[in-house]
Amino acid sequence: MSNRGDIIYDVVIIGAGPTGLFAAFYAGLRGLRAKVIEALPVVGGQLTILYPEKYIYDCPGYPKILAKDLVKNLYEQALTFNPTFVLEERVVNVKPISGGIIQIDTEKNTHFGRTLLIAAGIGAFSPNKLNIPGAERFEGKGLYYFVKEKSQFKNKSVLIVGGGDSAVDWALNLKDYARKVTLIHRRDVFRAHESNVAELFKSNVDVKLFYELKSIHGKERVEGATIFNNKTNEETFLSVDDIIIQIGHKADFSFIKNWGLEINSKGVKVNGRMETNITGIFAAGDIADPIDSVKINLIAVGFAQAAIAINVIKKRLDPLAPLYEHSSEKRL
């Protein structure tokens, strides 16, 4: 469809991650004309860029589903009502103008909407990197912060560093695929789903608690690693082919700080209707911080918040419309 910026859309959605994609579908379900603006060259957000081949276990309706497959399904669902997608455009400014219109400026164009929904996830993100001298020379040569192709670990000996959801999920994902999987964690408390941690300890993954990575060995690429016990300082050499670092990511949504929105360290402040402090601007998903509720960064929560926001937007634009409609009443 046309990407002309002078068309005024009912809702402009910033971000084409899971929340933004579902919002685009739901907007069409409610008869709203939607445009989605995404800074990346692909849809899917973190699911596409960080872990396309990792299983998602907490998405309703799927006991487990690969991240890339969830994105594919969400994108196909969003296309049901032919929203406009604009990729590789980073939003730099947002401001209300006359007539109750929201102007959205990107680095390339200007877009207009009667309302705006910010579904930009955690904003710009980058991995926390190792503070080990010389580690950077192995990046892409056996040392990885992002994993896009699971096939590269087939029959390999893999060391995973971390104790969060991503580290545990990758260990479980690769346990029957790689030749051997070792996971080291600097303490004995995990920041991952309890059921996955329980499965981890029942699996064939070699879990080493209170261990950290000291150094990486190899000539042209990774050939081994030295780890140490942070309680005893005992060092152990591991012969490994690949190392996956999953020690968190830095989130940066400072790009919105000049838009006049109320923000804090957790994101954009919203009420129970997903409304921000600026009339006509809403937020949903990981970037939203409900001031009268609990902030939980789950895909399922993003879906619910997207539906709330779009229904409120529909009622705002058409006061005679019902606040919500059952999807079973629609003929797609």
Model pLDDT for residues 137-160, shown as the tens digit of each residue: 999 999 999 887 889 999 999 999
Query: pLDDT at residue 127 above 90?
Result: no
Q: Which fold has domain 129-247?
A: FAD/NAD(P)-binding domain (3.50.50)
Query: Do the beta carbons of residue 181 and residue 208 sit within 8 Å?
Result: no
Query: pLDDT at residue 2 above 50?
Result: no
A 10 A CB-CB count for 68 gives 17
Structure-model confidence comparison of residues 22 and 134, the more confident one: 22
Q: What's the rounded mean pLDDT across residues 167-188?
A: 95
Token pair of 84 as six digits = 């406009």
Q: What percent of the chain has pLDDT over 90?
A: 77
Helix (H) or strand (E) holding 84: strand 84-87
Q: How far apart are CA 33 and CA 13, in angstroms?
A: 11
Q: What's the rounded mean pLDDT across residues 252-257?
A: 78
Can you say whether the dihedral through the CA atoms of 60, 66, 67, 69 is positive or negative? negative
pTM: predicted TM-score of the whole model, two decimal places? 0.77
What pLDDT, on a 0 to 100 scale, did the predictor assign at position 49?
A: 80
What pLDDT, on a 0 to 100 scale, did the predictor assign at position 134?
A: 87
Domain over 8-125+250-329 is classified CATH 3.50.50.60 = yes
What pLDDT, on a 0 to 100 scale, did the predictor assign at position 4?
A: 54
What pLDDT, on a 0 to 100 scale, did the predictor assign at position 329?
A: 62
First to last CA, the chain: 19
Query: pLDDT at residue 95 above 80?
Result: yes
What pLDDT, on a 0 to 100 scale, did the predictor assign at position 115?
A: 98
Contacts of 246 (CB under 8 A, 6+ apart): 145, 160, 161, 162, 164, 166, 167, 170
The torsion angle over the Cα atoms of residues 85, 23, 287 and 294, rounded to 10 degrees, is -170
Question: Which residue spans of the chain are classified as CATH 3.50.50.60?
Answer: 8-125+250-329, 129-247
Under the banding of pLDDT at 50, 70 and 90, the label for residue 193 is confident
pLDDT per position as a tens digit, 207-219? 999 999 999 999 9
Alpha helices, H only, 230-298: none
